[in-house]
Structure 1
Amino acid sequence: MRTRLLPLLIVLMAGVLLALGFPLAASLAASEQQRVVVDRLDDAARFAALAQFVSETSPGTDERSATLGGELASYHDVYGIRAGIFYRNNRSMAAAPEDWVVPYDGEGRRAFNEALLGRRSHNPPQVWPWQTHARLIIASPVVRDGDVVAVVVTDSPTGQLRMRILRGWVLIFAGEAAAMLVAVGAAVRLTGWVLRPVRILDSVTHDIATGRMNSRVAATGGPPELRRLALSFNEMADNVEEALEQQRAFVADASHQLRNPLAALLLRIELLALELPEGNEEIASVRTEGKRLAQVLDDLLDLALAEHTAAELRLTDVGALTAERVASWRPVAEDKGVLLTAECGAVTAWADPVALSSALDAVIDNALKFTPAGEEVTVTVAALPGGETVAVGRRRPRAGPHGRGARPGRRPLLALGPAPERQGVGPRPLHRPGPADGGRRRGGLRSERAARSPRDGDRAP
């Protein structure tokens, strides 16, 4: 989140600085040029005052014209600025250099024509640092007896002006860069201050998700809303941990409470086995069921005492295990009048046998519970392409007395599919068919991960 929020803040701050910097740079350039224009207008006004006394017919004209020409020559030699006074017919009164004439077009001609109307140049085009050949032309009228008799024109190079503008822009750029660095530092601190509670909350959430239930969000800075969120999260985590502790305590207590009756039952089974012939299948099946139930209770106790446990996967014959569970549930099915069959192929997979058998027990129990008498429940085990092993239960009405009973579409009762973030096996949602439409309601447990078929080079986890 920080990598997305920080660039956004930096872009916004850079936009603000640029929005302020460009007008400031343009204002600086205009201010520097205006200073030069005012200076040239003052010079032009001084030359115009001298030119007022120069006349082609008045006595002493040669002396005054020579004085004016000397002033213009000195001005050109010292400052490198071309200057001249021209009559209305473009004839030169005095100029420096002497061969300089009024331009016949462009900005010089525009300024000359404007001065003939009695107006001084006040707004010449802006000169920018990259305009290396630009010149600044200023014109001012020479007025005698209320009439414009001549025009003073100055043509200035802009090298120094452009250099001053460029230096001012460099200072502005340096200030903008310094402000940008300060803004970036402020943005980094701001995003760190805002996102630190979020980062800590994310870390604690990950710890709780991986089994460390005692992790909590420590008191830290940040916006008040995020601090309240951290407090609410800690309260929620306390409630969840308390609920899990109560659940563990209940499971452990139930496991302990069931151990004694189960031990007594197993002892009576052993005593009963002594009275029966050797190799009796029924007593062997009952003994196996008792041992499996004892193993389930042991696993429940281990689960209640453990903080975070993973399934013990081993190479398991899923088909044989499924057939065994179907055989164990067949007496219950016969008592309900439901035909329970199994289609168990030779499928081997990595699985936890106890967890898988418990899942099958839950599914078969639900299937028998919600299947009306006279119908059939079939448990199928098959290996899917890609190496996943699936146990599928489906039900269908049995044929009528004439063999032409209705056979609606087969619906799965159990499908074991992959869920990469968990280990072990459990049933997916069970579909309980309704009496008329073949079943639209869902109930039962949910599968977490399928048993994985062994491949070449696989080893036991």
Structure 2
Amino acid sequence: MTRRIVLALLTLTVLVIAAAAVPLGFAITDREHLAFRDKAQAAARVIASSAEEHLSDREPTTAMDAALAEAAKAGDCAAVYDAGGRVAAATPCLVARSGEVADLVGETLTGREPEPPEKHGRLLAAEPVGSFRQPVGVVVLARSTDSLDTRITIAWAWIGLVAAAGVAASALVSVRLARWVGRPLTTLDTTARSLGEGRLGERAAVVGGPPEVRRLTATFNTMAARTEALIHGHRTVVADVSHQLRTPLAALRLRLDLLATAGPENAPELLASAQEEVARLSRLVDGLLAVARAEQAVPTPVAVHVDEVATDRVAVWEPLAQERGIHLTARCRPAPPAALGPDHLEQVLDNLLANALDAVPNGATITVDSCQVADRIRLRVVDDGPGMTSEAREKAFHRFGNPKARGSGLGLAIVHRLVTANGGGIRLEDTPGGGLTAVLDLPLFRDR
């Protein structure tokens, strides 16, 4: 990719520079030629004005000779021709009457303005003496084009130097640009290869490169982190399931072995114990399936009135609370609906209330309240039971995080997954005066 970027930018730069430099060079060349001709004709015109005094007015040749001397001093060769085409005066380097000079003199004497020829390293400029239509003579000036060629060569050299510098600068910039773009992509490719080989902790460094590449790298890192969490989560599930199922299976096997060798009088008791272990296994499997369904949930938010659902679930659990001598109440304020998946809030409250009812002693109080706090709906389940230590609260949302739980130890893990999947948050706090408070912050439902 680096090579392709460099070649593309260099090609574009060369084309742009060529399209600008070549016409500029020809324009400078034409301008230099035009300026050179104008200066040569101006010098011939000065000699012609001095020669007019001699050829028209028969004045002495003093002014004409002085003008010719100045031309010779400047390095030019000049000659003054009379109306008959004869040489009236000339510089030491006399312009010979070659065919080219003769043609210039003849055309100028007839009233035409010939184009100054430029051949053999010199420019010939012809100017009429006197009236343009009826000249009394002609001045022919020959000027070497060496200085012109030198200036044109220098101009083209500067243009070539600037073009070469532009190409070199473009090459440098293109290489740096290609590396700037390519280096994070190369790093990303290497990281993806490492990740594919099983090194799940590999991450691409989000440094340098265009914003799009940095966003791609950040997205890749997020994907890698989620993949790692998913794989580790699956490994943890397998380890947890293996650990949690081993104990009831061993107990069930022991009771079945005892049942096979026990007498008829002990059979009912052993059979009842085996049935209890089967029920425990069933609860454990049901809890694991619930966690798996919660982790795979991709909710489509709907409008859920938290106060109504909370009041309804409290009414459902109230008979069990009364049976255990527990005071269960709902104190929910009307508020805008929350954005939650269908039936998710019911599952969350059922798990929280079941945990609270199992944790608090007879005569305790459980209160469910809700209200709007800023752009969230806050739902709390408050009890005055024994509460939890800070270490237990940190692990409460993990699978089997509470080894002292009476149930499967999966209820809070299900609650945490359902709440976070809907964009909410949950935390456990101490209840003032003793007990545990589960605080849920749920997002508001917004019409799209």
Higher RCO (CA < 8 A, seq sep 6+): 2
Normalising to structure 1: TM-score of the pair?
0.46
Normalising to structure 2: TM-score of the pair?
0.47
More helix by share: 2
